[in-house]
Amino acid sequence: MILLDRVTKLYNHKGSALERISLHVEPKEFVIIVGPSGAGKSTLLKLLTREEKPTSGKIIVGGIDYERLKDRDIPYLRRKIGVVFQDFKLLPNKTVFENVSFALEIAGVPNREIKHTVPKVMDIVGLKGKEKRMPLELSGGERQRVAIARAIVRQPKILIADEPTGNLDPKHAWDVVRVLEKINRYGTTVLLTTHNQEIVNSLKRRVVTIKDGHIVSDKAAGSYRPS
């Protein structure tokens, strides 16, 4: 599903963000990526979504070899990858339904299919009945779940969740994590980056630790102890 083979990303002004990292993620895995700020986690995610290109090394995602990926095919790639950020990125003047359906509208999905699909996704993230609410009428945790719904409404094979609980209190953080677990059970590969030690150690999932641009640990039921 995801393969990185000796991938290096160099930034002229900062040196290397990632140096010869190799990583293999199987379909339907749930992988937590941890490490201190500046370790290279965000760079790794940007490489996977093709916001950045590697300086060297090979990246293959869902059978797509990034070396052969043409710019015009990047939207097709990104349909395979849903992304959730720490800061929600919701459209404040649109309802919850409109925020989620927007991802389908720009892909040219017919209205009939949108009306059928969005309620199903709202149910998955635990927000059924709140379709007409505005983002500011929701809690932080609910807004993050709207963002997750928007990320999965096109049924991506991979969901990248970049610090999705960073701005949330413990209860809402766990609500979001439980939704990610549910999505993973439905067959979506999940990559989660987080600094939340309690979440990492409680989930007992595969944990990949990045430090100074290198993978220093990769354990099947790992833990996280910030240094």
Helix (H) or strand (E) holding 10: strand 2-11
Alpha helices in 125-205 (DSSP H): 140-152, 170-185, 197-203
Question: Quick one: average pLDDT of 211-220?
Answer: 93
pTM above 0.85, yes or no: yes
Q: Of 3.40.50.300, 2.60.40.10, 1.10.3720.10, 3.10.20.30, which CATH number belongs to 1-80+156-227?
A: 3.40.50.300
Q: Which range is least confidently modeled, 54-58, 168-172, 219-223?
A: 219-223
CA 4, 204, 153, 27 torsion-angle sign: positive
Between 37 and 177, the higher pLDDT residue:
177
Domain-by-domain residue ranges, the chain?
1-80+156-227, 91-155
Q: Is 59 helix (H, G, I), strand (E, B) or coil?
A: strand
Q: Residue 79: pLDDT above 90?
A: no
Structure tokens at 184: 């993973």
Q: Give the containing element (helix H, strand E) for 17.
A: strand 15-25
Ramachandran assignment for 179, one of left (phi > 0), alpha (psi -120 to 50 degrees), beta (any other): alpha
Per-residue pLDDT tens over the stretch 126-155: 999 999 999 999 999 999 999 999 999 999
Dihedral sign of CA atoms 85, 91, 95, 101 in order:
negative
